[in-house]
Amino acid sequence: MYKSTSPQLSFLEPEILIPGILPKDDWSHIYEEKVYPRIDEDKFKHLYKEKGGAPNKSIKLLISILIFMIIEKLNWREAEFHFQRRIDWLNATHTAFGEASVDYTTLFKFFQRLEKDETAYQLFKELTKIFIEECEVSVKKQRVDSFFMFGWLKILSRYGLFKETIRNFLQALRKHKPGLYEKIKGELSREYLEKDFDLTEKDKAKATRKIREMAQDLYILKTAFENHNQIEHYESFQTLVQVFDQQCMIKEPSEGSIEKEEIGEDCEGQIQVSARAVGTNEEIKSSVKIHPQGEIKEPSEGSIEKEEIGEDCEEQIQASGGGLGTDEEIKSSSKSLPPIEIREKPEGEKIISSPHNTDAAYTKKRNQKVVGHKGFVTETCDPENKVQFITDVNLERATHSDAQEKSRIEERLENNGWKPESFYGDAGFVNGKTILESKEKGIDLVGPSSGRSQSIENFEREDRPLDIADFKVEIDDKSKELKILSCPNKEKPLDQERSDKGDHILAHFDKDICTQCPFCNRCPVKIGKNTSTLTVTEEQYAGAARHHQYMESADYRKECSIRAGAESLVNEIANGHGARKSKHKTEARSRLQLIFASIGCNVKRYIRYMVECAQDQVKVQDQVEIVGAIA
């Protein structure tokens, strides 16, 4: 049941009971006066029932403790421990002696409630707006950077992924359906719930063979329980099905897989009979089929048996494989599994990297391998500001590109009333497309263009490759269409037109002139049989022009260096406030962790600024008193 925090103060609060127990410039005084009252509890009211149940702990108190534990990089139990013993925490939250008791489970459950919607982000936005207005911070210039938030799980190979996915499901099955577990475990290639469990296999050949075996185990479990009324809804089973579909595929056997020439005429009739007994992939799911109510259903028709076809044909059939696959694919005569092929690369929009955190994605940046998420943080960077604040924060999958997120960041900043005039980013955020998109919104995206070398020595070489920015062009003010005026050799194009799809501009030049041109080997113009053609888009020109501007102008490079300050921001958020590594399994909670890290960072900067202002006022007053005494 929702209950708001009582405004009534207690005589047992630290500063009331023992005046002067904390220094006048202690941070807790600023927090209790400037931050604590501005936490709007009504915004969290929808997280609780209106009537019934025990009343909730003070929301202002819980939010404050979450901020404190983020600032000081504490875990849940440590936060509970510190709250009972820290006078500054008690003073900051108006908590009386003897009432400082918050169980860590209560704190965590409140955190879980916040993952359901955008309430935490709204709190970040409201507090940041207050801080910016009070400190008179300009938002005209802002910078952005990204960083990887590592998942708490190890990077799994395909061997480890298969093994852990099966183990995770079998643990749930043994817990909830022990009878079915005992019946199905004997059909698998190994005991997955053994005590000594290793997710790695150093022998490459052995690992490859075991991966094929585990792929068959995945298929056995998938087909056995996919129609079970209860098990099909298990989260671990749904993950198992997804892993199988993404990593494996069923190879349909061809009708002529059992050849007459391979086994001889005498055995042909018997093999046809036995092949019909085996059935197709649709007819045979596995040797063990679980009935929707949990009954084990044995297959009525088995594999190719020695008694069915005779001893004389046995060796030939084994050599041909009976059209069912290799020895690894046929585990026993009691199992008739279709051939399962391991995909070269997993397929699907959301590839699972770990069964314990299906939201975490795998990516690789240079020599760095990451399973987790990517965080994006934006802050003000006007040199005239006495303090800078974080204005936007978000978390996406690790494979999410910086350029893709850039437009979303600008939209959020504009919706929050913090639209920048100049937006600084590194090469990951800046390319021809993002430059033009920002320009349409009235934002100057500042930074070097991606995909190009930033070596000034290579750029100044006389034999460097030419690009579209070396051509003389003009851009129509209304249509924004690009027009080629001349090439680097000052030759005008014969004509210019849009491609049939309308996404490229085709400028044609005289073939004979291009062939004899001194820039022929360096020019992007392609010489054809009848004419020479330059294919270009407005986005390509914007990216190339930005590269030339960055390489040719020392002043522009100096302006771009403002973005370098975002590196310290990332270090502060990721390492200073514990956002480098996620403490949670889901993406929603990891994002919430990053949001509170940003709130804590802004609160810390705000308190420091207010302390500095108070100290400056004291110094001014002291100087005035000294001058007055001298006079």
- Of 428, 445, 426, 427, the C-alpha closest to 436 is 445
- Map residue 317 onto helix, strand or coil: helix
Report the pLDDT value the prediction gives residue 383, as an integer from 0 to 100.
93
**Is the confidence at residue 302, as pLDDT, over 70?**
no
Q: Which of 264-268, 333-337, 450-454, 464-468 has the lowest mean pLDDT?
A: 264-268
Determine the 3-state secondary structure of 148 from DSSP. Answer: strand
Cα–Cα distance for residue pair 122/134, rounded to 1 Å: 18
Which three-class secondary structure string do you get for 165-189?
HHHHHHHHHHHHCHHHHHHHHHHCC
CB 531 within 8 A of CB 509: yes
Q: Residue 261 phi/psi, 5° resolution? A: -70, -30
User: For residue 258, is pLDDT > 90?
Assistant: no
CA pair distance 503, 501, nearest whole angstrom: 6
Q: What was the pLDDT predicted at 625? A: 66
Contacts of 599 (CB under 8 A, 6+ apart): 67, 70, 120, 123, 124, 127
- List the Cα angle 278/280/286 in 5-degree steps: 70
Helix (H, G, I), strand (E, B) or coil at 447: coil
The answer to whether 30 touches 610, Cβ cutoff 8 Å, is: yes
The alpha-carbon radius of gyration of the chain (Å, integer) is 34
pLDDT at 205: 85
pLDDT of 556 strictly over 80: yes
Specify the range with the lowest mean pLDDT, choosing from 19-28, 66-75, 241-250, 260-269: 260-269
Closest-CA residue to 58 (of 99, 91, 12, 98): 99
CB count within 10 Å of CB 225 equals 24
Can you tell me the distance from the alpha carbon of 587 to that of 120, in angstroms, rounded to the nearest whole number? 15
Q: What angle do CA 173, 179, 180 make, to 5 degrees?
A: 55
Contact predicate 142/424, CB 8 Å: yes
pLDDT of res. 452 = 85
What pLDDT was estimated at residue 415? 95
State residue 329's pLDDT score.
Answer: 38
Q: Which of 159, 158, 180 is nearest to 169 (CA)?
A: 180
423/445 Cα distance (integer angstroms): 5
**DSSP assignment, residue 574?**
I
Instruction: Write down the pTM of the prediction.
Output: 0.74
Per-residue pLDDT of 157-171, as tens digits, reads 888 889 989 999 999
Cα gap 139→382, rounded to integer Å? 7
Residue 316 predicted with pLDDT over 90:
no
Answer yes or no: is pLDDT of 33 > 90.
yes
Structure confidence by residue, pLDDT tens digits, 323-371: 333 334 333 433 578 889 999 888 887 788 888 777 777 676 666 677 7
Q: What is the pLDDT of residue 199?
A: 64
- For β-strands 368-380 and 361-365, DSSP reports them as antiparallel
| Angle, helix 587-630 to helix 59-71, in steps of 10 degrees | 80
Task: Indicate if the pLDDT at residue 268 is higher than 50.
Answer: no
Show the tokens assigned to 422.
């100049």
CA distances, 548 to each of 318, 456, 557 (Å): 68, 10, 11
How far apart CA 538 and CA 433 sit, in angstroms, is 9
Coil/strand/helix, residue 313: coil
Quote the pLDDT of residue 2.
80
Confidence check: pLDDT of 286 > 60 = no
DSSP 35: I
- Does the structure show a pLDDT above 60 at 279? no
Across residues 22-47, what is the average pLDDT? 92
Half-sphere exposure of 464 (CA within 13 A, CB side): 16
pLDDT at position 269 over 60: no
pLDDT of residue 254: 57
Mean pLDDT confidence for 279-294:
44
Average pLDDT, the chain: 83
Give 52: exposed, middle or buried? Use CB within 10 Å, 0-12, 13-18, 19+. Answer: exposed
The HSE-up count of residue 506 (CA atoms within 13 Å, CB side) is 12
C-alpha distances (whole Å) from 471 to each of 8, 83, 95, 165, 365 are 73, 66, 70, 56, 34
Q: How many CB atoms lie within 10 A of CB 138?
A: 16
Mean pLDDT for the stretch of residues 93-116: 91
Q: Name residue, tokens 């792929």.
A: 215
Q: Which of 264, 395, 389, 249 is nearest to 320 (CA)?
A: 264
pLDDT mean over 427-437: 95
pLDDT at 393 over 90: yes
**What pLDDT, on a 0 to 100 scale, did the predictor assign at position 146?**
95
Mean pLDDT of 533-549: 95
C-beta separation of 469 from 544 below 8 A: yes
Phi-psi region at 150: left, alpha or beta (left = phi > 0; alpha = psi -120 to 50): beta
For 87-123, give the DSSP string: HHHHHHTTPPTT-----HHHHHHHHHHHTTSSHHHHH
DSSP structure class, residue 508 = E
What distance in Å separates the CA atoms of residue 579 and residue 54, rounded to the nearest whole number?
Answer: 33
| Higher local confidence (pLDDT), 501 or 628 | 501
Cβ count near 299 (within 10 Å): 19
pLDDT mean over 616-626: 68
Q: Which residue has the higher pLDDT, 330 or 113?
A: 113
Write down all domains in the chain, each with its CATH number in brackets. 14-138+597-619 (no CATH), 158-342 (no CATH), 361-454+556-576 (3.30.420), 456-551 (no CATH)
Query: What's residue 275's pLDDT?
Result: 36
Residue 230 contacts residue 173 (beta carbons within 8 Å): no
**606: CB partners within 8 A, 6+ apart:** 30, 34, 35, 131, 134, 135, 387, 389
Backbone φ, ψ for residue 514 (5° rounding): -65, -35
Tokens of 449: 């263009």
